[in-house]
Structure 1
Amino acid sequence: MSWLNCPDPVAGNAASCDPIDTIVVPRTSDLGGFSVRRALPSAKRRMIGPFIFFDQMGPAELLVGGGIDVRPHPHIGLATVTYLFEGEMYHRDSLGTEIAIAPGALNWMSAGKGIVHSERERPERLQQKRPLFGLQSWVALPKHLEEGDPSFQHFGTEEQPEFTDKGASVKLIAGELYGHNAPVKTASEMFYADITLEPGAKIPLDAGWEERGLYTVAGQITIAGQSFDPAQLLVFKPGDHLVIENTTPVPARFVVLGGEPMDGRRYIWWNFVSSSKERIEQAKEDWRQGRFDTVPGDAEEFIPLPDRSGP
């Protein structure tokens, strides 16, 4: 038996004990001044646990006058999860929330039956060059909460569990991992953590979760003898005990994410997620007809319903 507790190798088949099921190389889009890499959904993998959407923003240096300017738009059936490594974004929503998110903090917006929000920058920040680097993901809601009331949670970087051991530093963003629990209230069992390994450090990843993934952010990591560079999403086979190592002379950073499988199939169209195609059609018509709530202080502009399908 392998030390990874995976099936016995098949003679002549080096991949038979590979703990990695899928490797997703994100597709990249240029949004004018910075790039976005989309890892989920992809043709290779639609979801990991409740995670149905996963974007990397930057790293980039935003120029004077340009930057983040996402007009009000709607969501249903999901929670948006925003986490920054560098920079700042200013969140407004139809609940009346107005808050800037800083590096290491967490914005968790649960759309439920419907919410509208915008993501911009404070005017004073536009007058200087500034960095932007972070992650935005969507977590699908379980069926019994898809039509719940929308809500918003924010936790500063100092409010989230952070712990170190032998060169491994972990900040728990959401859920439960390594015996710690994050303060954010999630709709399903999951984990999401920001991890840095110093040169020579290693860390295990528990096999207790059925669906597990890892997204490489900076540096290089090694798993079962395979090395991985930044901007790759690794999806692991269930049941394997994993050890993630940094065998390079510089620090490596990555996030781990996953949880239990969802309670049935999810459909995704633009900013809408649902277990029902009919519910998505209703949301499209509601947005087209102006039936969603507006964002106080940011109600003059909005993103029209697109003529395309997909997220």
Structure 2
Amino acid sequence: MSWQPAEKPETDTPSCPALETVIIPRAHDIGGLEVRRALPSAKRQMIGPFIFWDQMGPAEFITGKGIDVRPHPHIGLATVTYLFEGEIMHRDSLGTEIPIRPGAINLMTAGSGITHSERTSADVRASGGPLFGIQSWLALPKSHEENAPAFVHHSRDELPTLEDEGKKVRLISGELYGMKSPVKTATDTIYADVVLDAGTALPFPATYDERAIYTLTGDIEIAGDTFGPGQLLVFRAGDEITVKAKSAARLLLFGGEPMDGPRHIWWNFVSSSRERIEDAKQQWKSGAFPRVPGETEFIPLPER
């Protein structure tokens, strides 16, 4: 998704000692699609390399409606798109044209610069339907910020899944619970989609110093505190925690090692250098970014 202005998420100081902060995203509307942004926030820019976190939907489009995110640019990051319901057609300046569906993953590495669009295809638009998912951005390490752009799609069947005693875990990236994902990221991360039956407990190991849980549906309990849907729970380094589902729940576990310094973020650009972002602005304004084949529309550079 293209960056859109949004109010800063609210933050709270939790009573649970393992929790550093709780971020409550604010909702905003992008063309009829409700989006809840948890990162970046006033208290936390990144969790590992995760610098942007948007919940898209859930939405239900009537016949003839859908999303139309026109071509827009990125630098210095990788976008990770993961759906629970619906479909998005991805097109980019590398010539990629592929639909993403629930349980699969699109990983688009912008590097030195890429342009892409995200739309509802004509076939899906004709019948209408749901859309629900997460889009996150991973900041690239300084050594990778100017790498050549790339795109990789992994189908639902390629991602390892663990099902056992009231829990289902699909591993999107990294290594967890004895599984290893085929998804290659520029820095080591963990990212997992977890579904728990009521009363089920799940440990979240302290693999990395920076870890978080995003609560999607249902209520969970951690060290006696209860958390409902739509909250980003950021944990302190080194503390082993256990999540217990008070009702049927779905949540996302993610994290990684701290990045090699802070990042500047402006519109769809992420970089360790302000000058590089200024350069990217001028590139987009002058039409120097690569184009998406077959697309003539584009999102103009914001005047802000």
Q: Do these two structures clear the TM 0.5 threshold for a shared fold by scoring above it?
A: yes
SS across alignment from 2:90? strand
Equivalence for 1:129: 128
Match of 2:11 in 1: none
Which residue identity is paired with 1:55?
Answer: D
Selected match of 1:288 from 285, 288, 292: 285
Deviations 1:147-189 (A, max 9, x none): 0000000011011000122211100011222222111111001
Matched, 1:274 2:271: yes
Answering whether residue 142 of structure 2 is matched by residue 143 of structure 1, we say yes
Q: Which residue of 1 aligns with 2:116?
A: 117
Q: Once the two structures are superposed, what CA deviation does each residue of 1:273-306 show, in whole Å capped at 9, x if it has no partner?
A: 00000000000000001001000112x1000000
Alpha-carbon contact 1:82-1:106 (below 8 Å) kept:
yes
The alignment partner of 1:207 has SS state of coil
CA distance in 1, matches of 2:293, 2:142: 29
Is contact 1:83-1:105 (8 Å) kept? yes
CA contact (8 A) 1:74 1:117 kept: yes
Equivalence for 2:70: 71
- Describe the SS at the equivalent of 2:283: helix
Aligned to 1:38: 37
Cα deviations by residue, 1:215-262 (Å, 9 ceiling, x for unpaired)? 0011111111111111100000111100000123xx200001110000
Secondary structure (helix, strand or coil) at the match of 1:302 reads coil
Q: Are the equivalent residues in 1 in contact too, given 2:31–2:67 (CA < 8 A)?
A: no
> Percent identity, aligned pairs only?
59
Q: Give, in whole Å, the separation in 1 of the partners of 2:43 and 2:143.
A: 28
Distance 1:65 1:140 in 2: 35
Q: Which amino acid aligns with 1:215?
A: Y
Quote how far apart the aligned CAs of 1:27 are.
Answer: 1.2
Counterpart position of 1:7: none
SS in 1 for 2:275: helix
CA–CA distance in structure 1, aligned partners of residues 218 and 78 of structure 2: 29
Distance in 1 of aligned mates of 2:26 and 2:47: 17
Aligned to 1:10: none
Name the stretch that deviates more: 86-95 or 60-69.
60-69
Q: Name structure 2 gaps, 5 residues minimum.
A: 1-13
1:67–1:121 CA contact under 8 A, matched in 2: yes
Q: Is the 2:81–2:107 Cα contact (8 Å) retained in structure 1? A: yes
User: Contact between 2:21 and 2:235, CA under 8 Å: does it hold in 1?
Assistant: yes
Aligned length: 291
Q: For the residues of structure 1 that align with 2:159 and 2:60, how far apart are their CA atoms?
A: 27
Matched, 1:307 2:303: yes
SS in 1 for 2:254: strand
RMSD: 1.1
User: In the alignment, is the contact (CA less than 8 A) between 1:219 and 1:230 conserved in 2?
Assistant: yes
Does structure 1 conserve the Cα–Cα contact (< 8 Å) formed by 2:217 and 2:229?
yes
What is the CA–CA distance in structure 1 between the aligned matches of 2:91 and 2:246, rounded to whole Å? 42
Aligned to 2:184: 185
| Among candidates 251, 259, 263, match of residue 262 of structure 1 | 259
Structure 1 unaligned residues grouped into runs of 5+: 1-13
State the secondary structure of the residue aligned to 1:24: strand
TM-score using structure 2 length: 0.94
What is the 5 A alignment of 1:1-311? 15=15, 18-248=17-247, 251-298=248-295, 300-308=296-304
Distance in 1 (CA, whole Å) between partners of 2:294 and 2:100 is 18
